[in-house]
Structures are given as C-alpha cells and as structure tokens.
C-alpha cells in the first residue's frame, strides 16, 4: 500500500467533518478545581462576614481630668504682671508667691499721696517759721510796751502815795481852818485822775496779755490743723503701701501641679482673671483616671454608660502606641452649655474650639489602669509612653456605640456598586 502524504487525523476530519459521534471536553479539570476553591472561599467569607462584628464608632474630643476636677489660680486684683513664677508641670505650694503685680491705680494714688505728704510737711514747716517770726516780733514789741506800762504804773503809784499824803495834810489844815476846802477838793480830783491813769495802764497790760494768748492759741490751732492733715496723709500713705504690698503679691490657694499657664509677664489682668490651671494635690483621689469627651449632638444620644471607648491622648500617635481602653460612666441627657464647659475646662479658648462645630454632649469615661505600664494606663498595642498622662492633656476619642456583622456593612456597598454597574 502506498504511503500517504497526509496525516491520519486530517483524513478522519475529512471523512467526518461534523464529528458528531466524538465526545468533547467543555471545562478543563483544573478550572473545576479553581471554581470549587473559589466557592469554598466565598462561603467561608460569607460566614465570616456574617459572624464577625465590626465597631460603629462615634468620634469626639476632650481632655483628661483629675478625678476631683481642676482648679484655677485667679487674680484678686487688677494690674500688670511684673513677675510670674508659674510654668506647666511646676509644683506650687499653698500660700507660695506665684506672681507679682504692678498696681497702676494704687501706685498712682501712692505717688499722689507721697507728693501731698511732702507738700503738707513743707507747709507745716513754713507755717511754724512764719508764726515763730511773727510771735518773736510781736513779743518783742509787747515786752517793750509792758516794760513801759510797768514803769508808768510805778510812777503813778508813787504819785498816788504823795497825793494821799498831801490830801491828809490838807485835810488836817482844813480841820484847823487854816486853809479852805477847795485845795482839798483839787487834790482829791488829782488823785482820782491818777487812779484812772493807773487803771488804763492795767487794762492795756491785760489786753496785751489777752492778745498774746489769742495769738498763741490761733497759731497753735493752725499748726495743729496742719499737723492733723499731715498725719492723715501719713496714714493714707501707710494704708496704700500696705495694700500694695499685700495685693501686688499673688499667692497660690492650693498645693498642686500647674497644668496650664494662661498669661505672660507684662500682661494686664482684670480682677478675677485666671492665671493658671492647677491639678490640686489635696483633692480626694479615687484612684481613677477620668476623661471628659464631647461628641456632636447628632451622635450624643447614642452614647450610653457602659459603652467602650478608645482614647488617644494628644501628642501620641495611634499607629505607634495604640489607644487607651476606656469605659463610659456617664452621658449627658441634654446638650452641655458653653458656660458649663467653661466651668469644667477652665479654658475659654478650648471651649470656643470645641463648640465651633455646634452643640455638644458631655461624656465621662474612666481610663483603664495598668500598673505595669510606665504611664500607669493600659495601652492596646504597646507599653505606651514613658511619661504619665497628666490631667489637662487633650485627647481624641472614639466611642463604640454598636457592633454589627461585617456583612451588614459590606452588602449595602456591593448593592450600590451593582446599581452603578447597571447604570
């Protein structure tokens, strides 16, 4: 038989081009294996998504609190800060000096009072000089006049003695009828006139003494008035100096640690303004670490006591340290007011930042403790930072308000994708 130049398979296809009687392989075995594995994995994924629950989180911001709350050091007067002995982390003692003020108004009053005292002192000295000079001048004139009066009185007294003797002699002659009564009468009239001259001198002497007494009393009263004015100014100066010494120094009313300093040297403060926030050392310690978290009004009603929370203090990265587990212990039923937040946080700027986004609900959480960690707090994925988390530290929080199967989260997204595909 001659050898064909065509392959047998080609000749068979020509003999039966339809090859109807020959079976065909629709799907390769390897593909079937891959499909089985895919269906198995899908089934496991569906079961896993149906059984494993994901967290529904509500975000919030807040601050770590001391269990008894923070306190403020406030100015008890108004003035400019001349010296400030406060710094974050610093330990202060009760009655320790933390600031010194320049009290401008009181200083101005003191300066005015000191100037008034100088004026009063000079005025008093000048009055004394004037009175002394006037008294000396008038006293010299009075002394000279009194000496003249004394001489006149002595002369008149001698004249009276002589007139009395003359009158007695004339009276004797009249009784003997040697002389007439006219001479006796003239002598008696002359004696009366001499007595009147003596009385005039005595009255003048009394007037001079009275005037001297009046002048001395007037000088004494005038000087006493000036002395009283000077003493009153002295007392005012003393009061102002004592008040400045007392009010220019601000003392801490608490023992504790400085959490935040709100002012700087040179700032002008009004009475009642806060200088610093203090974590008081004498506050009762419950052993708990409390944090307050503020969440938006949209989610505040969903938070309930007992819910879990994840706290990340400011300055620490979640990727590096994880989070601090916490538990909600209270949740406000109504939105918190800015005034209430101010009373709690003692920080107007922080309150303004937190409330900028709208109404907030206040949530209190207790941080989980772990004495083996450097910070004394539990951390989800590390030993945490070496430093403690102090009161006043800002934080970011996520509160677990629900746990739902992952499939409930995935299915709506798949449905949305399918609808987009159909479109």
Q: Is residue 319 part of a domain?
A: yes
CATH number at residue 238: 1.10.287
Q: What is the mean pLDDT of residues 132-158?
A: 87
Residues 406, 49 contacting (CB under 8 angstroms): yes
Kind of pairing, strands 256-261 and 274-280?
A: antiparallel
Angle at 317 between CA 316 and CA 318, to 5 degrees: 120
**DSSP string of 172-204?**
HHHHTTSS-HHHHHHHHHHHHHHHHHHHHHHHH
Question: pTM higher than 0.95 for the full model?
Answer: no
Number of domains in the chain: 3
Residues 112 and 197 in one domain: yes
Residues 160 and 174 in one domain: yes
**Burial of 101: CB neighbours in 10 Å, binned 0-12, 13-18, 19+:** buried
Residues 181 and 295 in one domain: no
| CA 50 to each of CA 30, 45, 55, 401, 403: distance values in angstroms, whole numbers, following the listed order | 30, 8, 14, 19, 12
* Stretch among 29-43, 77-91, 354-368 having the lowest mean pLDDT: 29-43
Q: Which pLDDT band holds residue 110 (cuts at 50, 70, 90)?
A: very high
Residues 86, 275 contacting (CB under 8 angstroms): yes
Residues 303 and 222 in one domain: no
> Which comes out higher in pLDDT, residue 207 or 174?
207
Residues 171 and 216 in one domain: yes
Helix (H, G, I), strand (E, B) or coil at 269: strand
Residues 291 and 389 in one domain: yes
pLDDT per residue over 190-199, tens digit each?
Answer: 888 888 888 8
| CA–CA dist 387, 139 (Å, integer) | 90
Residue ending a domain, among 276, 294, 326, is 276
Q: Is residue 267 part of a domain?
A: yes
Residues 59 and 148 in one domain: no
> Which comes out higher in pLDDT, residue 405 or 117?
117
Q: What is the mean pLDDT of residues 371-398?
A: 87
Q: Is residue 85 part of a domain?
A: yes
What residue numbers bound the domain in which 184 lies? 104-247
Q: Is residue 206 part of a domain?
A: yes
Q: Is residue 421 part of a domain?
A: no
Residues 58 and 175 in one domain: no
Of 375, 378, 350, the residue nearest 292 (C-alpha): 350
Q: Is residue 355 part of a domain?
A: yes
- Asked whether the predicted pLDDT for residue 180 surpasses 80, the reply is no
Residues 309, 397 contacting (CB under 8 angstroms): yes
Residues 80, 266 contacting (CB under 8 angstroms): yes
Using only C-alpha atoms, the chain has a radius of gyration, in whole angstroms, of: 57
Residues 297 and 195 in one domain: no
Q: Which pLDDT band holds residue 347 (cuts at 50, 70, 90)?
A: confident
Q: Is residue 142 part of a domain?
A: yes
* Stretch among 62-76, 137-151, 153-167 having the lowest mean pLDDT: 62-76
Residues 116 and 233 in one domain: yes
CATH number at residue 90: 2.40.50.100
């Amino acid at each position: 038989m001659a050898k064909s130049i065509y392959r047998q398979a080609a000749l068979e296809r020509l003999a039966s081009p339809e090859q109807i009687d020959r079976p065909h392989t629709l799907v390769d075995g390897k593909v079937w294996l891959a499909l089985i594995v895919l269906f198995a994995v899908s089934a496991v994924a569906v079961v896993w998504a149906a059984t494993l629950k994901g967290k529904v989180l509500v975000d919030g911001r807040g601050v770590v609190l001391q269990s008894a709350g923070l306190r403020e050091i406030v100015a008890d007067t108004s003035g400019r800060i001349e010296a400030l002995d406060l710094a974050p982390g610093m330990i202060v003692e009760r009655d320790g000096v933390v600031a010194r003020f320049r009290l401008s108004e009181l200083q101005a009053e003191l300066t005015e009072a000191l100037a008034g005292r100088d004026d009063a002192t000079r005025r008093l000295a000048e009055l004394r000089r004037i009175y002394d000079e006037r008294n000396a001048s008038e006293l010299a004139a009075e002394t000279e006049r009194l000496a003249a009066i004394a001489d006149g009185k002595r002369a008149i007294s001698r004249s009276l003695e002589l007139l009395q003797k003359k009158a007695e002699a004339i009276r004797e002659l009249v009784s003997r009828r040697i002389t007439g009564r006219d001479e006796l009468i003239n002598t008696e009239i002359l004696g009366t006139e001499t007595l009147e001259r003596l009385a005039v001198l005595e009255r003048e002497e009394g007037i001079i003494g009275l005037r001297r007494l009046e002048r001395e009393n007037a000088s004494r009263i005038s000087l006493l008035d000036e002395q009283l004015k000077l003493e009153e100014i002295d007392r005012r100066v003393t009061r102002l100096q004592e008040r400045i010494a007392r009010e220019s120094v601000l003392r801490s009313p608490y023992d504790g640690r400085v959490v935040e300093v709100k002012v700087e040297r040179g700032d002008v403060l009004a009475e009642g303004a806060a200088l610093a926030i203090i974590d008081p050392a004498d506050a009762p310690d419950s052993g708990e670490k409390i944090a307050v978290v503020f969440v938006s009004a949209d989610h505040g009603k969903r938070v309930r006591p007992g819910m879990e929370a994840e706290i990340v203090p400011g300055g620490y990265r979640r990727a590096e340290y994880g989070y601090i587990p916490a538990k909600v212990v209270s949740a406000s039923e109504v939105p918190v007011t800015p005034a209430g937040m101010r009373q709690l946080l003692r920080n107007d700027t922080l309150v303004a930042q937190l409330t900028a986004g709208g109404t907030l609900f206040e949530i209190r959480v207790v941080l989980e403790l772990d004495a083996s960690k450097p910070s004394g707090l539990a951390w989800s994925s590390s030993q945490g930072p070496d430093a403690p988390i102090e009161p006043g530290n800002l934080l970011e929080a996520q509160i677990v308000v629900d746990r739902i199967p992952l499939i409930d989260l995935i299915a709506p997204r798949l449905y949305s994708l399918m609808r987009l595909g159909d479109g």
